[in-house]
Amino acid sequence: MDSSRERLSKTAKKVHFELSAILRFALLAVADIGLIWFITQLMINGFFEVAVVLIIIVIFNTYVFLAPKAYPLRWMAVGLSALLLFAIFPIIYTSYVAFTNYGDGHLLTKVQALDQIQRELYLPEEGRAFEWIAYRSEDGEYLLWIKDAAGNTNLARQTDADEEDHILEVIPGENGIGELDEAGAPVAIEGFTRLNRILATTDTNLTRIKFGDPEKTIQVRSPSEAAELLPRYLYNEDEDTFTDQVTGIVYFERQGTYTSQQGRTLTPGFRAGVGFENFENFLTNPALRGPLAIILTWNFAFAFLSVFLTFALGLAISILYGDPNFPGKKILRSLLIIPYTIPSLITILIWRGILNENIGIVNTVLRDLINFSPNWTTNQWWAKAAVLIVNLWLGYPYFMLVTSGALQSIPSDIYEAAEVDGARGWNKFWNITLPLLLVAVGPLLIASFIYNFNNFNLIYVFIQGGPPIPGASTRAGYTDILISYVYNLAFEGGRGVNYGFASAISIVIFIFIALMALAQFKFTNMWEEVSENV
Amino acid sequence: MSELTKKTKKPRSMTQQRRLGIIIRWVIAVFLIFFSVFPLLWIISASLNPTGTLATARLIPQNPGFKNFQDLVGNPTFPFFRWFWNSVKITTITTILTLSLTTMAAYAFSRFRFAGRTTMLKAILLIQVFPNLLSIVALFLILTQFGNIIPSLGLNTHLGLIIVYLGGAMGMNIWLMKGYMDTIPRDIDESAHVDGASDWQIFWRLILPLLRPILVVIGILSFIGTYGDFIVARTLLKTTELYTIMVGLQIYTSGMFSQKWGIFAAGALISALPIMVIYLVLQDQIVGGLTQGAVKG
């Protein structure tokens, strides 16, 4: 009886196991096929970096879901894939961009840039010539009839005309073409007037218009001749140079730009490695170094003062109202926690209204009371004060919550022992409370420092980094911190975006953060905890 | 405990001393409360002020009314409720996906022992320290290229934004979740194993129901974080129709700021309210989660 039940349950388990295995294989196959199609498409479009990451993800997932050894990883395969694609790869990619000149003038890949330069055409003095006759429509569009030396005729539309075909056969009855004269040119075309010699030579537009398509472009060279345009720059693949067919100047590749010996350049340039140039710029270029020094100093001061002020106020509150018997404690905490409960972006916008220099409530009241109104947005010191005040408002509830928890965890017998030894008020605070508290909340202080070091929302939304630093070569302001400065460089540069330089600064920020984070982890002993954990 | 009371020199009875201390502390508290609550009062009053400009705003508006709230409805240039809906949709989907990814990964970290386990935990912790704004150029590029092939996954789509958010799903949350799971005795799953339950059954039927409190905390923190995100959404979304509420509200205030103050105030109040209610109702649970090391993001 017993053994048969056992056998039955074993069979059921086996069936269940096989079913789930089949399901797993099927899902994996579908996902892999989809991803491989996607990767192929990426490759075709020339997006190799992202394609490589996805190939890694496909291999990783296939391995994890097939190999029994990797079983635990199945539980986190999707999350790890997302982490790789949207957190790790962007960091690696940013590091790569930091060593290139990616930005305005260098946005394209080399293949794309070569293609564009080779499309540049010129009108040769020599070369294939055509007889021509022009036709003009009411609204100033032109058609050009051409006849080459062999006697072949064609009708060419303007290159910029919004039509499918730009070079047409001359067949009467098609495309509104009327009868042909003895030379083979249409006597009339529907909607167009045939220009006689005098009209055609006096029409100044005509010599400037390009006819035909990119493969065969024709331009009028003289009253009697039209000619096919030729590529202006000839590419030499072995030496990676361009030769100008008009002047004979040779352009060599220099850090993503084709440059002649005289220093003339071809556009567009392309993305190319520039070594440490962005980092050197960071240190040596006076136009960049000036604002950067100001920004860096303020960045550290801002982060430090923010942490210090929010921590001090938060701690003061939890000491003042820490007494569990304090009447109305619960309601007080609910009221004081309010800044924390509103999404910070919204309150930053509200503060922008409150501290508006001309019509904000604070300045209106101050003007009435003491006839003085601070320039919150135009004076750099008041602007810095305003940012700190708003950040104090935003940040103190967090430390109020954290420190009140930590204070309760300090055993009361320590205080009793200290009182026996004669310690009183402030003494007790400096020698017992604060050191013990700092051990408990130290990691949170570092985390808060990191957070404020990169507090982009506050700086950018509240004041846009302003007031502007005069003489800065890129957009920079007195309250800008590194991250908002980077954002301006990358996305809002009025004088062109510079991803390369922005990424170089990002790398510097990465390093700062990494160092602080490591300090934080050391502090918490989090890492030891993991290793010991059974 | 109460340093202030100790400073009063004259000998008094304990109750008198205590009462004085409480009065002084409440006086200070009034100032603090004023500082803390003022912006909220200010925005409530502005939202009820029918003149609607920053210049005419006062703390107690004349002829208060709900005109500003009515103006939010059916406004073609500022489709407020559209933005609100976008935010709720994006945030809810992101939160649910984050919770599932986190919980499953944390289960593996807590219950299985495998090579590279501690290294991975440390790496996850380190990676999430870097704000994704720093590598936004790369994120921008990835989505542009995705969009070239599958337009609904590219730049300026909600799906694209959600998958970018998911890159941050495996972070501090895994540590919180794993820490909580570690406190659930392993005897439970071992005895279930003996009874023939598979890992998935143990996870789904046994462990998951016990995780309710921490799921609430992580869910709320993740919801609030995503709901409040501004700059990633702002960089990746281009069309007004597709904006989230935070991007939209910021647009309200740029340009003709003082003219639109009333409508902005009404919108700000509506978008802040759900989060405020969640916080105040569940403050004890959230504080518990916070003090374990997460910083408001």
Per residue in A209-229, pLDDT tens?
888 887 788 888 788 788 888
pLDDT above 90 covers what percent of chain A? 20
Residues of chain A in contact with residue B55, where contact means CB-CB under 8 angstroms, are 359
Residue in A19, A337, A349 to test binding to B, most B beta-carbons within 10 Å? A349
Q: What is the mean pLDDT of residues A439-460?
A: 87
Of the ranges A185-189, B31-35, B197-201, which is most confident? B31-35
Residues of chain A in contact with residue B36, where contact means CB-CB under 8 angstroms, are 335-336, 338-339, 393, 397
Q: What is the mean pLDDT of residues A72-81?
A: 92
Q: What is the mean pLDDT of residues A118-135?
A: 80
Q: What is the mean pLDDT of residues A342-362?
A: 88
CATH of domain A108-119+239-275: 3.10.650.10
Q: Which of residues 329-348 of A touch B (CB under 8 A)?
A: 332-347
In this prediction the pTM is: 0.79
Of the ranges A280-289, A322-331, A363-372, which is most confident? A363-372
A85 and chain B: CB distance < 8 Å anywhere?
yes
Predicted local distance difference test score (pLDDT) of residue A533:
42
Q: What is the mean pLDDT of residues B123-128?
A: 84
Predicted local distance difference test score (pLDDT) of residue A525:
63
Structure tokens at A11: 């069979």
Least confident of A205-214, B3-12, B169-178: B3-12
**Is residue B281's pLDDT more than 90?**
no
A454 and chain B: CB distance < 8 Å anywhere?
yes
Nearest-CB residue to A332 (from B29, B39, B272): B29
Asked if B287 lies within 8 A of A398 by C-beta distance, the reply is: no
Of the ranges A286-290, A313-317, A399-403, A493-497, which is most confident? A313-317
Burial A46-65 (b: 16+ CB within 10 A, else e): ebebbbebbeebbebbbebb
Residues of chain A in contact with residue B265, where contact means CB-CB under 8 angstroms, are 350
Would you identify the CATH topology of the domain A121-231? Periplasmic binding protein-like II (2.40.430)
Predicted local distance difference test score (pLDDT) of residue A147:
85
Predicted local distance difference test score (pLDDT) of residue B11:
54
B5 falls in which pLDDT band (50, 70, 90)?
Answer: very low
Predicted local distance difference test score (pLDDT) of residue B7:
47
Asked if A321 lies within 8 A of B25 by C-beta distance, the reply is: yes
Strand partners, A103: A106
* Encoded amino acid at A185, one letter: A
Residue-range domain boundaries for chain A: 2-98, 108-119+239-275, 121-231, 282-528
B94 and chain A: CB distance < 8 Å anywhere?
no
Q: How far apart are CA A419 and CA A239, in angstroms?
A: 85
Domain architecture of chain B: domains with CATH: 3-71 (no CATH), 79-254 (1.10.3720.10)
More confident site: A531 or A525: A525
Query: For residue A429, which of B7, B188, B110 has the smallest C-alpha distance?
Result: B7
Per residue in A384-419, pLDDT tens?
999 999 999 999 998 998 888 888 777 778 878 887
Asked if B33 lies within 8 A of A352 by C-beta distance, the reply is: no
Query: For residue B215, which of B57, B137, B107 has the smallest C-alpha distance?
Result: B107
Asked if B253 lies within 8 A of A352 by C-beta distance, the reply is: yes
Q: What is the mean pLDDT of residues B235-261?
A: 81
Predicted local distance difference test score (pLDDT) of residue A198:
81
**Is residue A146's pLDDT more than 90?**
no
Q: What is the mean pLDDT of residues A87-100?
A: 90
Structure tokens at A313: 């106020």
Asked if A530 lies within 8 A of B135 by C-beta distance, the reply is: no
Q: Which of residues 357-376 of A touch B (CB under 8 A)?
A: 359-361
Q: How far apart are CA B175 and CA B123, in angstroms?
A: 12
Predicted local distance difference test score (pLDDT) of residue B291:
59
Predicted local distance difference test score (pLDDT) of residue A359:
81
Residue in A85, A86, A400, A412 to test binding to B, most B beta-carbons within 10 Å? A86
Residues of chain A in contact with residue B119, where contact means CB-CB under 8 angstroms, are none
Of the ranges A192-206, B33-47, B168-182, which is most confident? B33-47
Q: What is the mean pLDDT of residues B139-147?
A: 88
**Is residue A378's pLDDT more than 80?**
yes
Predicted local distance difference test score (pLDDT) of residue A531:
43
Q: Does residue A147 sit in helix, strand or coil? A: strand
Predicted local distance difference test score (pLDDT) of residue A305:
96
Cβ A320 vs Cβ B25: under 8 Å: yes
Handedness of CA B52, B56, B59, B63 (dihedral sign): negative
Per residue in B210-220, pLDDT tens?
888 888 888 88
Q: How many CB pairs under 8 A join A and B?
A: 280
Q: What is the mean pLDDT of residues A79-86?
A: 92
> Residue A94's closest chain B neighbor by CA?
B135
Q: Which of residues 167-226 of B touch A (CB under 8 A)?
A: 167-170, 175, 182, 196, 198, 224
**Is residue A311's pLDDT more than 90?**
yes
Q: Please, how many CA atoms are within 13 Å of residue A27, restricted to the half-sphere of its CB?
A: 11
**Is residue A110's pLDDT more than 70?**
yes
Rounded (5°) CA angle B152-B155-B157: 50
A509 and chain B: CB distance < 8 Å anywhere?
yes
Q: Which helix (H) or strand (E) holds B41?
A: helix B14-48
Nearest-CB residue to A456 (from B43, B124, B133): B133
Structure tokens at B270: 């509506």
Asked if A345 lies within 8 A of B250 by C-beta distance, the reply is: yes
State how far the alpha carbon of B181 is from the alpha carbons of A284, A529, B175, in Å.
53, 15, 10
Asked if A341 lies within 8 A of B250 by C-beta distance, the reply is: no
**Is residue B296's pLDDT more than 50?**
no
Least confident of A102-116, A141-155, B31-45, B262-276: A102-116
Least confident of A192-196, A420-424, A464-468, B39-43: A420-424
Q: What is the mean pLDDT of residues A74-103?
A: 90
Q: How far apart are CA A477 and CA A126, in angstroms?
A: 57
A353 and chain B: CB distance < 8 Å anywhere?
yes
Tell me what the pLDDT averaged over chain B comes to: 83
Alpha helices in A337-379 (DSSP H): 338-341, 344-354, 361-370
Structure tokens at A206: 């005509």
B259 falls in which pLDDT band (50, 70, 90)?
Answer: low
Predicted local distance difference test score (pLDDT) of residue B31:
93
**Is residue B35's pLDDT more than 70?**
yes
Of the ranges A27-36, A318-327, A467-476, which is most confident? A27-36
Q: Which of residues 249-288 of B touch A (CB under 8 A)?
A: 249-250, 253, 257-258, 261, 264-265, 268, 271-272, 275-276, 279-280, 283, 287
Burial A125-157 (b: 16+ CB within 10 A, else e): eeeebbbbbbbbeeeeebbbbbbeeeeebbbbb
B227 falls in which pLDDT band (50, 70, 90)?
Answer: very high
B101 and chain A: CB distance < 8 Å anywhere?
yes
**Is residue A529's pLDDT more than 70?**
no
* Encoded amino acid at A213, one letter: D
CA distance B172 to chain A (A): 12
Q: Per the CATH hierarchy, to which homologous superfamily does domain A282-528 belong?
A: MetI-like (1.10.3720.10)
Predicted local distance difference test score (pLDDT) of residue A51:
93
A382 falls in which pLDDT band (50, 70, 90)?
Answer: very high
**Is residue A162's pLDDT more than 60?**
yes
Structure tokens at B86: 């976008």
**Is residue B293's pLDDT more than 60?**
no
Asked if B170 lies within 8 A of A342 by C-beta distance, the reply is: no
